[in-house]
C-alpha cells in the first residue's frame, strides 16, 4: 500500500467551501458521490423541456441537481458536463417533436445555440453566484434566474426563431402563476421557477440549516406568495363577461384527406410541391384538391346555420389554385351573408407565376366582403424549403360587433413582436389557423395560453394535425379538439364578448427581460470585483473559493 501523497488530500472546508486554517493540509478529504446528482438532473431536464410529455414540476427541480453537481466539481469538469445534460434534453425534445432527422441543416445549429445559452446560465451560477455568497446569499440566488432569462431572451432576440426554450411555457396549466406574464411576459414565469431552484441549491450548500437560510427562503416564499395571490385576484376580479358568442373551428375529415391524397397521386402531385402543381394539368390539380375544400365549405355552412358567428379554418389543409380562389371566396361569401357570420378561410394558394406558393388567411365578413388577405409572416424552415413566400408581417385587424378581430398563422404566434401588433391594434380576438404534426401536436396550443395572458385577448386556434384550442384572455382553455383522436374535427366554443383587456406587458414590452440582462451583467461585474479583492487580501480570499473535490 503506497503512502499518502499531497494529491490525495486537501484542507477540509465548511459548507460554503471556506478552508479551515486550523486543520492539517494532510487531513483526508471527504469525496462526496456526485454522479447521482448529474443523472437525476439530466433525467429531470428531459422531463422538464416543453414537449408533449413534459412534467411541470420537473422544471422546478432539474436545475437544483445540475447546479449542485456543478458546485461540487471543478468548473472545467462540472460546467461541460452540465452543458452535456442540457444537450441531452434538447436532443430528446427534438426527437419527441419529430425534428431530429426530418429537418434541414438550419434547425440543428439553432437549437445547439439554445443549448449553449441555457448552459451559460448554469455556468454563471458556478462561477458568479459562488463568488457572491460571501457578500450576499440573496444576491447569489439571483444569478441563475437572471442569467436564464437573459439566455432565453437573447435566443429570441438574436436567432429570430421564436421564443422556444423558455422555461415558463412548461407552467401553462398553472393559471394563477401564469398571470404574471401579463406584466413580465413569459420571462417572469421562467424567473420565478428558476429562482426557486437557485434558492434550494443555495440552502443545500448551507446544509439546510434554518437559522442560516431562513431570511432568504422567506424572501422567496413571500415573492412567490404575492405572485400567486395577485394571479388569483386577477382571475377573480378580471374574469371574462358572461355575454358570449358561438365560435366554430372546423377541419376536414380523414376520409376527405385520403380522397384528396389519392387524387393528387393520380395527378402526379403527391406532395403538393409548387413547381409540380404549376406544371400539372390544372383541371386534374383542381379536382384533386376539391374533396378537402368542398368538405370545409359544407362544414362552414353547417356550423353557420347552427349559430356560429365566427368560423375558423385550419392552416393549409385546403389547397387552392389561384384560378379557383375567387370562386371559393364567392361561395363562402354567400354563406357569410346568409348566416351573418365571419369566416376566416385558410389555405395554401398555388399560382403559375411567382410567388407560386402562398400560405394565406382570408376573412369574409357578414357583408360578404373580404376584410383581409394575410400571408404568413414567418414560414417554418420546412415551408421555406417548399418555396412559401413570407408576408410583410403587418398583422391585419377589423372591427366587428364582438370586438376587433385579428389574425396570424401558426408559427407567427411564436414571435412576440407579431402578437404584440395585435394587442397594439386593440384586437379582442385573434384567429390562428394552424397545422402541426404528430409529436408536436400539443406545444403550440399550450404556448398560446401564455400569449393570451401576455396581451389580454382571446384566441381561436384551429389546427390540422394538432390540438385545436379556444382560449380566453386569462389563459383559460374554453374548448379543445384533438385531430388525432377524432375523425371529423370540429371545435365549438362560447367565447366572451368584450374589448381587449389591457396588460402591462403589452404596454412596456420586454422591459423585465432587459432588466434581467442588466442584472446579469451587474452581478458578473460584482463577482469579478469580489474575486480581485480576494486576491489582494492576505488570506487570498479563501471564503470565495470552492472546495477541491475529487472525481
Q: For every residue of 435-492, which 3-state class applies, written as one string?
A: ECCCCCCCHHHHHHHHHHHHHCCEEEEEEECCEEEEECCCCCEEEEEEHHHCCCCEEE
57 and 74 fall within a common domain:
yes
Structural domains in the chain (count): 2
Contact 350, 357 (CB under 8 A): yes
Could you tell me which of 282, 403, 438 has the C-alpha nearest to residue 352?
282
* 202's grid cell: 443555495
Question: CA-to-CA distance for 437 and 215, rounded, in angstroms?
Answer: 48
Q: Quick check: is 511 in a domain?
A: no
Over the stretch 511-546, which tens digit does the pLDDT of each residue have? 999 999 999 999 999 998 877 776 666 554 443 344
Contact 401, 495 (CB under 8 A): no
Torsion angle (degrees, nearest 10) of CA 476, 505, 138, 134: 130
Q: What pLDDT score was predicted for residue 3? A: 45
CATH of residue 250's domain is: 3.60.110.10
Q: What pLDDT score was predicted for residue 138? A: 96
What would the mean pLDDT of 493-502 be, rounded to a whole number?
91
Could you tell me which of 322, 357, 358, 328 has the C-alpha nearest to residue 345?
328
Answer whether residue 81 shows pLDDT above 90: yes
Q: How confident is the model at residue 424 (pLDDT cuts 50, 70, 90)?
A: very high
Q: Is the whole model's pTM more than 0.75, yes or no?
A: yes
204 and 122 fall within a common domain:
yes
266 and 219 fall within a common domain:
no
Q: Please say whether the dihedral angle defined by the alpha carbons of residues 404, 409, 412 and 413, taken in this order, is positive or negative.
A: positive
118 and 213 fall within a common domain:
yes
106 and 39 fall within a common domain:
yes
Answer whether residue 162 shows pLDDT above 60: yes
Could you tell me which of 295, 309, 296 has the C-alpha nearest to residue 339?
309
Query: Rounded to a whole number, what is the largest CA-CA distance in the chain?
Result: 96
Helix then strand count (H, E) for the chain reads 19, 13
158 and 255 fall within a common domain:
no
Q: How confident is the model at residue 105 (pLDDT cuts 50, 70, 90)?
A: low
Which region among 262-276, 297-311, 373-387 has the lowest average model confidence (pLDDT)? 373-387
Q: Quick check: is 506 in a domain?
A: no
- B/e letters for 48-80, b = 16+ CB within 10 Å, e = fewer, are bbbbeebebebbbbbbbbbbbbbbbbeeeebbe
Answer whether residue 94 shows pLDDT above 80: yes
Question: CA-to-CA distance for 423 and 397, rounded, in angstroms?
Answer: 10
What would the mean pLDDT of 400-413 be, rounded to a whole number?
95
Average pLDDT, the chain: 89
Return the top range by mean pLDDT from 8-22, 102-116, 471-485: 471-485
Answer whether residue 18 shows pLDDT above 60: no
Q: What pLDDT score was predicted for residue 104? A: 53
169 and 266 fall within a common domain:
no
Answer whether residue 28 shows pLDDT above 70: no
Question: CA-to-CA distance for 472 and 154, rounded, in angstroms?
Answer: 29
State the first-to-last Cα distance of the chain, in angstroms, to the nearest integer. Answer: 21
Residue with cell 389563459: 475
227 and 322 fall within a common domain:
no
User: Across the strands, what pairs with 433?
Assistant: 462
526 and 480 fall within a common domain:
no
Residue-number span of the structural domain to which 184 is assigned: 6-238+517-544
Q: Quick check: is 363 in a domain?
A: yes
Question: CA-to-CA distance for 282 and 505, rounded, in angstroms?
Answer: 49
Q: Quick check: is 458 in a domain?
A: yes
164 and 302 fall within a common domain:
no
Residue with cell 406587458: 505
Answer whether residue 62 shows pLDDT above 60: yes
Q: What pLDDT score was predicted for residue 25? A: 38
Q: Quick check: is 505 in a domain?
A: no
Instruction: Classify residue 171 by its DSSP letter.
Output: G
Q: How confident is the model at residue 110 (pLDDT cuts 50, 70, 90)?
A: confident
Over the stretch 263-278, which tens digit does the pLDDT of each residue have? 999 999 998 889 999 9
Answer whether residue 550 shows pLDDT above 80: no
Q: How confident is the model at residue 109 (pLDDT cuts 50, 70, 90)?
A: confident
Q: What pLDDT score was predicted for residue 406? A: 98
Q: How confident is the model at residue 7 (pLDDT cuts 50, 70, 90)?
A: very low
Q: Quick check: is 30 in a domain?
A: yes
Counting every residue written for the chain, the total comes to 551
Q: How confident is the model at residue 102 (pLDDT cuts 50, 70, 90)?
A: low
Q: What pLDDT score was predicted for residue 335? A: 98
Answer whether residue 13 shows pLDDT above 60: no
Would you report the helix, strand and coil content of the chain in percent, each value rounded to 5?
55, 15, 30
**Residues of the chain above pLDDT 70, percent:** 90
Q: Quick check: is 426 in a domain?
A: yes
Answer whether residue 449 shows pLDDT above 60: yes
What would the mean pLDDT of 124-140 be, rounded to a whole number?
94
Instruction: Classify residue 97 by its DSSP letter.
Output: T
Strands 467-471 and 477-482: antiparallel
What would the mean pLDDT of 157-186 be, rounded to a whole number?
94
Stretch (H or E) spanning 359: strand 357-364
298 and 171 fall within a common domain:
no
* 115's grid cell: 443549448
Stretch (H or E) spanning 433: strand 429-435
Over the stretch 194-235, which tens digit does the pLDDT of each residue have? 999 999 999 999 999 999 999 999 999 999 999 999 999 999
Q: How distant, in Å, are the alpha carbons of 117, 189, 201, 220, 485 from that of 522?
A: 18, 22, 21, 21, 51
Q: Quick check: is 356 in a domain?
A: yes
Q: How confident is the model at residue 441 (pLDDT cuts 50, 70, 90)?
A: confident
Contacts of 71 (CB under 8 A, 6+ apart): 78, 125, 126, 130, 201, 205, 546
Answer whether residue 410 shows pLDDT above 50: yes
Residue with cell 385545436: 468
204 and 249 fall within a common domain:
no
Answer whether residue 77 shows pLDDT above 80: yes
Three-state secondary structure along 258-300? Answer: HHHHHHHHHHCCCCCCHHHHHHCCHHHHHHHHHHHHHHHHHHH
Amino acid at each position: 500500500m503506497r503512502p499518502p501523497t499531497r494529491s490525495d488530500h486537501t484542507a477540509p472546508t465548511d459548507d460554503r467551501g471556506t478552508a479551515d486554517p486550523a486543520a492539517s493540509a494532510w487531513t483526508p478529504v471527504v469525496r462526496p458521490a456526485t454522479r447521482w446528482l448529474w443523472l437525476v438532473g439530466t433525467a429531470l431536464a428531459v422531463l422538464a423541456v416543453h414537449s408533449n410529455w413534459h412534467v411541470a414540476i420537473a422544471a422546478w427541480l432539474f436545475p437544483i441537481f445540475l447546479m449542485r453537481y456543478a458546485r461540487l466539481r471543478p468548473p472545467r469538469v462540472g460546467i461541460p458536463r452540465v452543458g452535456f445534460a442540457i444537450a441531452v434534453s434538447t436532443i430528446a425534445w427534438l426527437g419527441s417533436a419529430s425534428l431530429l432527422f426530418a429537418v434541414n441543416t438550419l434547425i440543428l445549429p439553432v437549437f445547439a445555440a439554445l443549448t449553449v445559452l441555457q448552459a451559460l446560465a448554469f455556468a454563471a451560477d458556478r462561477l458568479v453566484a459562488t463568488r457572491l455568497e460571501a457578500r450576499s446569499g440573496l444576491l447569489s440566488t439571483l444569478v441563475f434566474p437572471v442569467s436564464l432569462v437573459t439566455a432565453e431572451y437573447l435566443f429570441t432576440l438574436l436567432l429570430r426563431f421564436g421564443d422556444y426554450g423558455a422555461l415558463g411555457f412548461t407552467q401553462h396549466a398553472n393559471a394563477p402563476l401564469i398571470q404574471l406574464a401579463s406584466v413580465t411576459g413569459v420571462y417572469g414565469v421562467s424567473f420565478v421557477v428558476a429562482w426557486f431552484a437557485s434558492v434550494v441549491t443555495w440552502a443545500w450548500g448551507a446544509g439546510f440549516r434554518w437559522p442560516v437560510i431562513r431570511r432568504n427562503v422567506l424572501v422567496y416564499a413571500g415573492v412567490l406568495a404575492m405572485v400567486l395571490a395577485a394571479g388569483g385576484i386577477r382571475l377573480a376580479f378580471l374574469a371574462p363577461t358572461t355575454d358570449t358568442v358561438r365560435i366554430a373551428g372546423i377541419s376536414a375529415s380523414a376520409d376527405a384527406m385520403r380522397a384528396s391524397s389519392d387524387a393528387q397521386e393520380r395527378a402526379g402531385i403527391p406532395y403538393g410541391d409548387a413547381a409540380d402543381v404549376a406544371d400539372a394539368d390544372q383541371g386534374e390539380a383542381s379536382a384533386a384538391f376539391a374533396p378537402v375544400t368542398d368538405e370545409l365549405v359544407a362544414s362552414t355552412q353547417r356550423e353557420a346555420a347552427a349559430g356560429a358567428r365566427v368560423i375558423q379554418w385550419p392552416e393549409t389543409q385546403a389547397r387552392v389554385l389561384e384560378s379557383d380562389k375567387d370562386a371559393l371566396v364567392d361561395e363562402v361569401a354567400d354563406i357569410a351573408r346568409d348566416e351573418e357570420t365571419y369566416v376566416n378561410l385558410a389555405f395554401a394558394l398555388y399560382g403559375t407565376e411567382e410567388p407560386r406558393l402562398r400560405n394565406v388567411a382570408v376573412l369574409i365578413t357578414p357583408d360578404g366582403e373580404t376584410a383581409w388577405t394575410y400571408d404568413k409572416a414567418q414560414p417554418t424552415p420546412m415551408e421555406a424549403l417548399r418555396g412559401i413566400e413570407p408576408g410583410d408581417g403587418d398583422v391585419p385587424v377589423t372591427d366587428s360587433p364582438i370586438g376587433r378581430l385579428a389574425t396570424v398563422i401558426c408559427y407567427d404566434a411564436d414571435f412576440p413582436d407579431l402578437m404584440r401588433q395585435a394587442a397594439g391594434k386593440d384586437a379582442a380576438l385573434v384567429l390562428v389557423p394552424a397545422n402541426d404534426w404528430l409529436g408536436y401536436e400539443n406545444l403550440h396550443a399550450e404556448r398560446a395560453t401564455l400569449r393570451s395572458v401576455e396581451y389580454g385577448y382571446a384566441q381561436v386556434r384551429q389546427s390540422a394535425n394538432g390540438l385545436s384550442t379556444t382560449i380566453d384572455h386569462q389563459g383559460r382553455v374554453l374548448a379543445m379538439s384533438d385531430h388525432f383522436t377524432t375523425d371529423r374535427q370540429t371545435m365549438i366554443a362560447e367565447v366572451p364578448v368584450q374589448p381587449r383587456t389591457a396588460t402591462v406587458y403589452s404596454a412596456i414590452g420586454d422591459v423585465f427581460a432587459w432588466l434581467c440582462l442588466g442584472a446579469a451583467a451587474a452581478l458578473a461585474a460584482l463577482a469579478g470585483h469580489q474575486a480581485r479583492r480576494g486576491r489582494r487580501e492576505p488570506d487570498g480570499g479563501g471564503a470565495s473559493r470552492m472546495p477541491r473535490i475529487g472525481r
